[in-house]
């Protein structure tokens, strides 16, 4: 009998003796008056044993049976193989022995068997405050989803959200998360709101280099060249930082959850089935979303800066080239003919930069003379892609290479046969020293001096 049952028994016996009332005894032990009267009547019939719970001393119906416990112990103490708790539960389930992972862990702790793998303690995390002013931090990301129909293949939605205010700054639908998609998104963002201080996103290969290819110039400099969009951001003075986990950029991750719930439903109600219709629907939805969910920043001053006028020349793909002998410059799939320079000079061997713009135009820029040539966009739909040559991504290793293995001897059948070799008396086999000098006469060269 425990302490609580002993206290109840003393008050019940005092109530039976008439020293306290049932209400006073019930208030003292924390029971209702009806329950106290039941215990009082039961103690009068059965004695002090009535205050003890009826399940005291009984085994639980959910208790593991002995064969199951022995099977778990046999796998935990196996002499040759160590198994984790979840694996043991799966193996016993295949034998029709139901046991939970928590029960296996409890038996393992009782036996004093260490875990197969140590659990890492939870890392300390600190909530990051929002940026103080608008434009100080803008999160960018892409999300694939069946936005307007389950029958249509999913397309990508690429967007940007302000960290300080939570409002959608730019949003676009694209068939893929590529250079064209981010150039379109950043073009809308910079023209409508300006240049932010920093962009925050994931490790997509469109924005950061994830490959292990280093050119000789990159190895000497100690840093890889940026991507096409990264070079544009560096020229604009916008810093890009890649998050190491989706939780780090949780604000835009939660935005995708809201858009996949609300935007997809509204576009299906509007019977939108194409990218063009979806792009036309976005401005109205973004305005209503910002009015509903956006809030004022902590500081009133904005960090956005005006975008340059030649923004279309910056958000592009750029390729350093050397002008050919015929005054042409080419990139994979396209080439441009240059006009003569001042005084009808040639641009041959000049170092220029070819830029392919978002609308498909091709510009050839010289460091001192500016634009040398401009080519109109190609006919038909155009999509900006990074045109890389094999030489750009060829890895150059500065470490000394191991010596090449010696060449294998040629087969006997490939050697010159003995019959075709010159004889020892052949002049070809005579050395230079054995050849006698010729005697020069006023009339020409005659026989040798020894003749």
The pair of three-digit structure tokens given for residue 112, joined into one six-digit string:
């004093």
The mean-pLDDT minimum among 6-20, 125-139, 287-301, 308-322 falls in: 6-20
Share of the chain above pLDDT 70, in %: 88
Tell me the range of 212-216, 283-287, 340-344 where mean pLDDT is highest: 283-287
For 358-393, the pLDDT digits (tens) are 999 999 999 999 999 999 999 989 999 998 754 444
* Cβ-contact 142, 158 below 8 angstroms: yes
CA 142 to chain centre: 11
**Which residue intervals of 95-227 are DSSP H helices?**
101-111, 179-192, 216-221
Distance CA(168)–CA(159), nearest Å, equals 8
Distance CA(33)–CA(18), nearest Å, equals 16
Instruction: Provide the β-strand partners of residue 242.
Output: 201
pLDDT level of residue 449 (50, 70, 90 thresholds): very low
Answer whether residue 194 shows pLDDT above 50: yes
For 236-287, the pLDDT digits (tens) are 999 999 998 888 899 999 999 999 999 999 998 999 988 999 999 999 999 9
List the Cα angle 271/276/278 in 5-degree steps: 50
Mean pLDDT taken over the chain: 86
Answer whether residue 441 shows pLDDT above 60: no
Distance CA(54)–CA(43), nearest Å, equals 13
Collapse the DSSP code of 356 into the 3-class scheme (helix H, G, I; strand E, B; otherwise coil) and give the result.
Answer: strand
């Amino acid at each position: 009998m425990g302490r609580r049952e002993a206290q109840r028994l003393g008050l019940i016996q005092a109530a039976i003796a008439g020293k306290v009332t049932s209400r006073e005894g019930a208030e003292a032990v924390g029971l209702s008056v009806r329950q106290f009267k039941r215990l009082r009547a039961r103690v009068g019939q059965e004695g002090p044993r009535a205050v003890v719970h009826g399940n005291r001393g009984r085994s639980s119906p959910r208790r593991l049976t002995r064969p199951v416990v022995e099977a778990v112990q046999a796998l935990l103490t196996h002499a040759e193989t160590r198994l984790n708790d979840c694996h043991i539960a799966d193996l016993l389930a295949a034998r029709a022995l139901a046991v939970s992972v928590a029960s296996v862990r409890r038996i393992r702790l009782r036996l004093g068997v260490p875990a197969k793998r140590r659990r890492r303690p939870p890392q300390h995390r600190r909530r990051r405050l929002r940026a103080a002013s608008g434009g100080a931090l803008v999160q960018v990301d892409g999300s694939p989803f069946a936005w307007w129909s389950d029958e249509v293949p999913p397309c990508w939605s690429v967007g940007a959200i302000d960290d300080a205010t939570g409002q959608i700054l730019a949003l676009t639908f694209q068939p893929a998360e590529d250079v064209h998609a981010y150039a379109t998104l950043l073009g809308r963002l910079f023209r409508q709101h300006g240049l932010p201080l920093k962009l925050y996103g994931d490790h997509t290969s469109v924005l950061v280099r994830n490959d292990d290819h280093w050119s000789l110039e990159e190895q000497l400099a100690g840093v890889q060249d940026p991507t096409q969009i990264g070079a544009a951001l560096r020229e604009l003075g916008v810093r890009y930082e890649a998050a190491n986990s989706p939780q780090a950029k949780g604000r835009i991750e939660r935005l995708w959850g809201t858009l996949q719930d609300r935007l997809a439903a509204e576009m299906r109600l509007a019977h939108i089935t194409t990218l063009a219709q979806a792009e036309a629907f976005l401005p109205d939805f973004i305005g209503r979303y910002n009015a509903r969910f956006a809030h004022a920043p902590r500081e009133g001053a904005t960090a956005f800066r005006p975008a340059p006028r030649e923004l279309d020349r910056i958000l592009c793909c750029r390729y350093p080239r050397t002008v050919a002998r015929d005054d042409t410059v080419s990139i994979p799939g396209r080439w441009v003919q240059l006009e003569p320079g001042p005084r009808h000079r040639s641009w041959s061997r000049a170092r220029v930069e070819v830029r392919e713009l978002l609308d498909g135009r091709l510009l050839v820029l010289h460091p001192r003379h500016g634009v040398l040539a401009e080519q109109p966009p190609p006919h038909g739909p155009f999509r900006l892609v990074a045109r890389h040559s094999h030489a750009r991504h060829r890895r150059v290793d500065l470490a000394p290479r191991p010596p090449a293995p010696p060449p294998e001897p040629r087969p006997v059948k490939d050697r010159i046969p003995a019959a075709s070799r010159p004889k020892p008396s052949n002049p070809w086999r005579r050395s230079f020293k054995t050849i006698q000098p010729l005697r020069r006469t006023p009339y020409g060269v005659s026989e040798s001096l020894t003749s």
